Amino acid sequence: MTPKITLVGAGSVVFTQGLLADLFTYPELDGVHVALHDIDPGRLATALAAARRIAEVRGVKPVLTAHADRREALADADFVVNIVQIGMGEATRTDFEVPARYGLRQTIGDTLGIGGIFRALRTFPFLKELGADIADVCPEAWLLNYTNPMAMNVQYLSEATGLTRVVGLCHSVYWTVHGLAELVGVPFDEVTYVAAGVNHQAWVLRFEHAGADLYPRLRELAAADEQLRRRVRFDMLHRLGYYPTETSEHSAEYVPWYLQHDTEIERLRLPIGAYLDIVAENEAEYERTRRAIAADEPLPVEGTGEYAPQIVHSVLTGTPRTVYGNVVNRGLIENLPSGGVVEVPCLVDGTGVRPTRIGALPPQLAALNRTYLSVNDLVVRAAVEDDPRHLRHAAMTDPATAAALPVERIFELCDDLVRAHGDRLQPALRAVLGR
């Protein structure tokens, strides 16, 4: 039977192109069925046309289908790749503009913080429907989630849908180590590394070449280069002893030390509202792709190195690999809460995806991760228990929000965001609670 891969949210055309460019590099997967689903007919048509162009350039002949109906797209799928963004750019701008009126600074706002909280809450109703559809029409499928906030979404899927074959995927570990290898002058494929923690706040625990620790070299480079020291990640390395696995713009949002201080914003060159520029560029890139297809112009067909195509290939062919996945913590990291979602190395082969046990993180790293996971848990509790108070509790617990605002203002901000997002939230969470 022909393997079937369903991309949900395929109208995110640029990301879809990258995934398919990777997928179509594997000769063993020639002829695979790729089903594309999106609720926007124009974006869906563009995604299908781009997929056909990429297949032609790669010299492969997959079965390509486009579906406005989600259940039809999911039927009998072996893999489901979720890349949906609920509310698109409009909702993201709301997540920045409303908090900015309160003086709350954000750089990316898609993982933690007030932006991450509301991005999760407007995504959960969709995830519940998606989980129900998968359980009904493709119960053995692997759900490979790219949608942020990664850890909140994977925890919600686990608790609200009962699905067990769920792995959250992010490229942050790969590209972090790739960049560090380049910085110390060692080929990436010669580096030995282990990272673990939570998504966007995992830690490079081992970074070695030929059995030698590369961390002393990193510290030497930072000591000699003021520009390196003016990055949040190197500041965290200096203070905590380990390097975090997301950009400085991301990392600054998950702790209370940086965005609340003008001097730190200047010292560490933090771009407030940076994600709004990314949103604008993504929208422009989609338009460029759409115009290129309409004019029958060439499209760039470049791979991304993303994990989803690697997992598909390994499961279908038995080829063993190690990837980094976001999975429910069942003894994987012993000093982080059970039931929270952690990011760890995962072994992949014909038997599926198997997370590896890390043991305990260094205590200072676990302390930060526990706060992150506490916010996540309260957001999930708000949705699973239909309790709007837990939405506010999550914002109160969030490090960056709590550092910036007194509690009454946090409640007012939550009320304003509830009003702004309106019916994107499940009904019980639309309540305005006041101070």
pLDDT in tens, 176-223: 999 999 999 999 999 999 999 999 999 999 999 999 999 999 999 999
pLDDT classification of 128: cutoffs 50, 70, 90: very high
Q: Out of 74-78, 192-196, 267-271, pick the least confident.
A: 267-271
- Taking 80 as the threshold, does the pLDDT of residue 39 lie above it? yes
pLDDT classification of 337: cutoffs 50, 70, 90: very high
Residue 429 lies in a domain: no
- Taking 90 as the threshold, does the pLDDT of residue 264 lie above it? yes
CA separation for the pair 49, 290 (Å, rounded): 9
Average of per-residue pLDDT across 380-384: 98
Strand-pair category, 79-82 with 4-8 = parallel
Is residue 332 a contact partner of residue 359, using CB atoms and an 8 Å limit? no
Which residues belong to the active site?
A: 171
Is residue 165 a contact partner of residue 101, using CB atoms and an 8 Å limit? no
Residue 76 lies in a domain: yes
What is the pLDDT at residue 214? Answer: 97
Residue 257 lies in a domain: no
Percentage of residues in the chain having pLDDT higher than 90: 84
Question: What SS3 class is residue 192?
Answer: strand
Alpha-carbon Rg for the chain in angstroms: 21
At 130-186, the pLDDT tens digits run 999 999 999 999 999 999 999 999 999 999 998 999 999 999 999 999 999 999 999
Question: Angle, to 10 degrees, between the axis of helix 13-23 and the axis of helix 41-58?
Answer: 30
Helices (H), 24-138: 41-58, 70-74, 88-100, 113-137
Residue 354 lies in a domain: no
pLDDT classification of 87: cutoffs 50, 70, 90: confident
Is residue 377 a contact partner of residue 337, using CB atoms and an 8 Å limit? yes
What is the pLDDT at residue 90? Answer: 87
What is the pLDDT at residue 401? Answer: 97
At 18-35, the pLDDT tens digits run 899 999 999 999 999 999
Owning domain of residue 140:
4-168
What is the pLDDT at residue 248? Answer: 92
pLDDT classification of 417: cutoffs 50, 70, 90: very high
- Taking 80 as the threshold, does the pLDDT of residue 290 lie above it? no
What is each CA distance from 226 to 180, 215, 268, 391, in whole angstroms? 17, 18, 11, 41
pTM for this entry:
0.95
- Taking 90 as the threshold, does the pLDDT of residue 57 lie above it? no
Average of per-residue pLDDT across 258-265: 94
Residue 314 lies in a domain: no
What is the pLDDT at residue 283? Answer: 79
What is the pLDDT at residue 285? Answer: 79
Average of per-residue pLDDT across 351-377: 98
CA separation for the pair 67, 203 (Å, rounded): 40
What is the pLDDT at residue 304? Answer: 81
Q: Is 200 known as a binding-site position? A: yes
Half-sphere exposure of 84 (CA within 13 A, CB side): 25
CA separation for the pair 72, 263 (Å, rounded): 54
What is the pLDDT at residue 253? Answer: 94
- Taking 80 as the threshold, does the pLDDT of residue 234 lie above it? yes
Beta-carbon contacts of residue 133 (< 8 Å; ≥ 6 apart): 70, 71, 74
Residue 215 lies in a domain: no
Residue 140 lies in a domain: yes
Is residue 44 a contact partner of residue 10, using CB atoms and an 8 Å limit? yes
What tokens appear for 300 in the block? 């760039």
CA separation for the pair 228, 218 (Å, rounded): 10
- Taking 90 as the threshold, does the pLDDT of residue 102 lie above it? yes
Q: Tell me, what CATH number does 114's domain have?
A: 3.40.50.720
Average of per-residue pLDDT across 321-326: 97
Q: Quote the mean pLDDT of the chain.
A: 94
What is the pLDDT at residue 278? Answer: 80
Indicate the length of the chain as a whole number. Answer: 435
- Taking 80 as the threshold, does the pLDDT of residue 301 lie above it? no
- Taking 80 as the threshold, does the pLDDT of residue 13 lie above it? no
* Structural domains counted in the chain: 1
Residue 99 lies in a domain: yes
What is each CA distance from 269 to 106, 181, 224, 262, in whole angstroms? 13, 23, 19, 10
